[in-house]
Structures are given as C-alpha cells and as structure tokens.
Structure 1
Amino acid sequence: MLNYVLTCCSTVDMPYDYLQKRDIPFVCFHYILDGKEYPDDLGQTVSFEEFFSRIAAGAMPTTSQVNVEQYIAFFEPFLKEGKDIFHISFSSGLSGAYNSAAMAREELLAIYPDRKILIVDSLGASSGYGLLTDMAADMRDNGATLEEVYDGVEENKLNVHHWFFSTDLTHYKRGGRITAASAAVGSLLGICPLLNMNNDGKLTPRKKIRGKKHVIEEIVHMMEVHAKDSINYSGKCFISNSACYDDARKVADLIEEKFPLLNGRVMINSVGTVIGSHTGPGTVALFFLGDRREDE
C-alpha cells in the first residue's frame, strides 16, 4: 500500500469533483473581491459565473498566495497520520508559493524527521499545472513510489506546453498591464494576444493576431508544431477558459478533428478565481505534452 499523499495548490484549475475523485487534496490561495476575502476553492464559495460577471461589471479582485503558516497547517495532518507528502506547487515564475512550501517543509521535517516531504515547482499554471498533476496521479495509481513520481514529474514538467490567447483586453487595461491606447487600438483592430509559458514558468507574449478565427487556428497550429508526435499526439489535452466556453469549444473541436489519436476528448475547465483575477474574462488556454519548453 502506498503511504504518501499527492497534493497541489488551488491554482491547478481542475474541477473540484475531479480532485476529490482522484484523491488529490489542495491548498487554497485567496482573493479579495469588493472588499471581502474568499478562498480560491474551485468555485465552491463563489461560482465562476458570478466571479467573472462581477469582474465584467468593473470589480478588480486582488490575490494572495499561500504563506508558510498555511502550508504547515495543510501539510501537518498528513504527517500526523504517518504519511509522506508529494506536493506539486504553482509556478515560482508567477508566485512565491513554492518558496513558502519549501520553508514549511523545513520546519515540519524538524518536527517529523522520519517523514518525507518532496516538493516540485511545476513551472506551470491553470490546467497545464493540472495536466502535470494528472500525470502524477496516473503514476501513483499505477503503483509508482513517492520517489518515482517525483522523478517523473521533474523530468516532464517542461514538456507541458501552455498557450493562451485573450479576446477581451478590458481587464488588462484596468489592471495596468496594457495602456488605454493599446487596448483601444487592439479592440478596434480585433487584436488577440497569443502568449505561452517559458522555461522559467513565466508568461511570455509571442504574437499579436488579428481576429478570433485566426488566433484559434494559430493556437491549434502551435500544438501541431510542439506536441509530441505532432498530429499523431496520443496524450491528454486540457483547456481552461474564463467565461468564454464557446471559444474554448471551438479550439477543442478543431483539436479533436486534427489529432485523431488523443487520449480521450479534450477536457475543458474554468480558469479559477485567482488566475482569473489577473486574466479577466475572455481568455482561452491550451495545454498538452510536447517538446521541451525553452525561452526564445
């Protein structure tokens, strides 16, 4: 019997029921919306529909990462049960949560010297981070040891591709990520920024594409270019979206048409409340396994 638990952060942006079914406990980030603090609990407290509707109406949420004390409170019950821990953390390129988890690890190992706590920096976000966690759960369920799962995740984390586009620049303007002039010109011309995540786990702008149809075609083309075995890709594919399911469905339909050997249908999830606080509505993100990510 395996004597370790696989855990992650709420920024994995996978369905609550999925994590319950796969036996993957998660620790919540938090956000403040209209002066009130909420847990990023995968839509349980505030539904994704309500959250993105409030942003569309002008709300500007702020977020907070998991601190050392919160990680200790999350990890310690497993250690008290006599279990070891394998935790996959949100990207250090986007948050200090990995460092907080590592500090909590050191404090807890001083109290529980006979236990093991292994932590991987996913260098990922949203359902791309979820795809890596799904891989770890599959390995665990196939009988892999704690160390084997750790090694497998470390070896493969930079093979998880993250490609994003946004069709709504309003929230980017409100948050100061682009100027009002750039947002106005971009909206007038129908510009949809295409970004990906580099090997440092940071979001990197790649292209400015005119028109939703073209950016949908381009993001799928990036999967053709980078996916393992190209159109013969036989792995899983996840998509997350922030209140733009129809756009996500168009991407998924095109992928399912072009990649006939996919492992199951494309899973479409919602961007969570913490990541959605930064993207706002209108973002579609595509995740798959492919060649090794490098900064270009």
Structure 2
Amino acid sequence: MKTRIITDSASDLSSDIISRCGIDVLPILVYLGDEEYKDRETLEPKELYDNMREGKVYKTSQVSPQVFKEKFEEYAKKNEPCIYIAFSSGLSGTYQSSLIAKNEVLEDYPNFDISIIDTKCASGGFGLVVLKAAQMAMKGITKEEIVKTAEFYSKHMEHIFTVDDLEYLYRGGRVSRTAAVVGSLLNIKPILHVDDGKLIPLEKVRGRNKVLKRMMEIIEERGVNLSSQIIGITHGDDIEIAMKAKELMEERFNCKDFVINDIGCAIGAHSGPGTLAIFFLNELE
C-alpha cells in the first residue's frame, strides 16, 4: 500500500509540487493582533511581507495536537500508512504536538502504521526532505526505505541564508537591539545557518553583493557534488535575489535542478522581506 506523506507549511513547497506529489500539508497559524490566519490558505506571503514593510508585526503558533489528531485519524480509519515529516523541533512546538496526537490515535487504532520525523530543518531545506520522501512514495518504495532516506536528508541538509533587515531577527529574539540598529546603519548582512535544528549566526558581511559572494564560498566549502543535487532556494518576496543566487550556482557549480519558492508566512513572519536562503546536501547517499 502506498505510503502517505504529511507535512506542515513551514516546508515552503509550491502548490504545484504539493498537488503533483500528493503531499498533505497542515498550515501553521499566523496572528496579526487577534486575527488568526492559516499559512498559505487564508494569508499569502505577499500580503504578509507588504504588511511587515509597513511595520505590522506577526506572530506564529504551532499546529495543535487536535488538528494532528483529526488528520492522523483520517488515515488510520482507512488503514493507510503515513509519515509525518515535521518542521524543526528547535524552531517550533509542532513536532511535539504531532507526538501527542500520534499517541492518542494509537490508543484507538493500535495497528495504525505511522512514523514521525523531526527533520531539524526549515523552509526549502525542510521542503527538499519532504519532496524526496514524496517522490519515493509515488514510486511505491517501502515506508521503511522512505523513512531511512528522509532521516539521511534531514541529517545532511545545509541551510545558508541571510536577511535584509536585522530588525526582524531582533523582534524574534535572534539578535540584540544594538546589533539590529548598528547593522542597519552599517548595511551589515548576517549569514546564518541551521545547526541541530536551531538558527545560528555564522558571519557578518557589509552589503548585498558581498554577502552573496561569501554565501557561495561557504556553499563550496560545505557542499558535495552540487551539480548532481536538487538545490533549494527560498526568498522573502524578492525573486530577483533568488534568481541571482540561481545564476551564481549555475555558473560556479554547474547546478541544473532547482526548487525555488517564496518563504511562507510561518517563517517569513520572523525573517522578514528580503530574506534569501539556499539549501543543499553536504553528503550524498
């Protein structure tokens, strides 16, 4: 029986990929004041970024255990094997919510075949893990093999990214108020990565062009056989910088396959407009 792939909206996959690969996506909740929105369902990234540029501040909330329970029960009743591939537990409580729901559903459906994977990944890196699993599921590959590969991808996925304005990272508690003010005055662009599921600053570079050049150097240091990989690129409502990154990856590493999409509301609410992120593997199976 075909394995069903479930994920959440922090995977930042396009609607085309989601539809084509039959991926079931649960939206992360986003709040503007008392108003509740569902990421990419009742709030699109473009609207979020436009509002953020005007000074509006969004907050996010994990997918609730109840929502997970309803979704898992849907597949348990049909006796369909499932894998829920989760947003990093270091950045969200969504993974923990899914574990609570899984245990509750198994009480009523003890034979339900479900696995949950904490990717320790975010945005396009998370999306590449989900995409690989969905492609395998479409080919009828066993659930055990899909889990094994998804865990390998999760472990070896690199996230190299920069933000255009440190103010948004300050609001999310990632940098100090002083760092945000000084950074803006000096046009400092931080380069960050994800380590054990958490955002970690790597370097600070002055200027947009210099930060792109340095990102390419880091990618060269960390990547392996980049030309034979699918490269993920996500952006905060700045397709021009995303396409510039794609061109540099093509020129420098002869990359051919890309998955490019905007950063959704779940992550964009914290990273802000102008964010650029590049994802690749540091080891191949």
Question: Which TM-score applies when normalising by structure 1?
Answer: 0.91
Residue aligning to 2:280: 288
Q: CA deviation at 1:148?
A: 1.0
Q: Distance in 2 between matches of 1:225 and 1:179?
A: 29
Partners of 2:44 and 2:264 within 8 A in 1? no
Residue aligning to 1:70: 67
Q: Distance in 1 between matches of 2:99 and 2:175?
A: 34
Q: CA deviation at 1:263?
A: 4.7
Residue aligning to 2:153: 156
Partners of 1:109 and 1:116 within 8 A in 2? no
Residue aligning to 1:252: 246
1:120 equivalent to 2:117? Answer yes
1:80 equivalent to 2:77? Answer yes
Residue aligning to 1:269: 261
Residue aligning to 2:217: 221
Q: Distance in 1 between matches of 2:93 and 2:168?
A: 23
Q: Distance in 1 between matches of 2:144 and 2:120?
A: 19
Q: CA deviation at 1:221?
A: 1.6
Supply the AA of the counterpart residue of 2:250.
E
Seq. identity, %:
35
In structure 2, relative to structure 1, the CA distance for the partners of 1:61 and 1:111 (3 Å cut) is same
Q: CA deviation at 1:89?
A: 0.6
Residue 124 of structure 1: SS of its match in structure 2?
Answer: coil
Q: CA deviation at 1:39?
A: 0.6
Residue 79 of structure 2: SS of its match in structure 1?
Answer: coil
Q: Distance in 1 between matches of 2:173 and 2:211?
A: 23
In structure 2, relative to structure 1, the CA distance for the partners of 1:235 and 1:82 (3 Å cut) is same
Deviations 1:184-209 (A, max 9, x none): 321222110000001x2101000001
Partners of 1:34 and 1:59 within 8 A in 2? no
Residue 233 of structure 1: SS of its match in structure 2?
Answer: helix
Supply the AA of the counterpart residue of 2:273.
P
Runs of at least 5 residues in structure 1 that lack an aligned partner in the other structure: none
Q: Distance in 1 between matches of 2:180 and 2:95?
A: 33
Deviations 1:1-26 (A, max 9, x none): x3321110111111122211110001
Alignment of structure 1 residues 226-241 onto 2, 5 Å = 226-229=222-225, 233-241=227-235
Residue aligning to 2:199: 203
Deviations 1:58-98 (A, max 9, x none): 11111110121111012111111221111101101111211
1:135 equivalent to 2:132? Answer yes
| The one of 208, 216, 220 aligned to 1:212 | 208
Q: CA deviation at 1:138?
A: 2.1
Q: Distance in 1 between matches of 2:173 and 2:24?
A: 34
Q: CA deviation at 1:131?
A: 0.6
Q: Distance in 2 between matches of 1:123 and 1:140?
A: 21
Residue 96 of structure 2: SS of its match in structure 1?
Answer: helix
Partners of 1:165 and 1:194 within 8 A in 2? yes
Count of aligned pairs between the two proteins: 284
Q: Distance in 2 between matches of 1:221 and 1:143?
A: 38
Runs of at least 5 residues in structure 2 that lack an aligned partner in the other structure: none
Question: Which TM-score applies when normalising by structure 2?
Answer: 0.94
In structure 2, relative to structure 1, the CA distance for the partners of 1:175 and 1:92 (3 Å cut) is closer
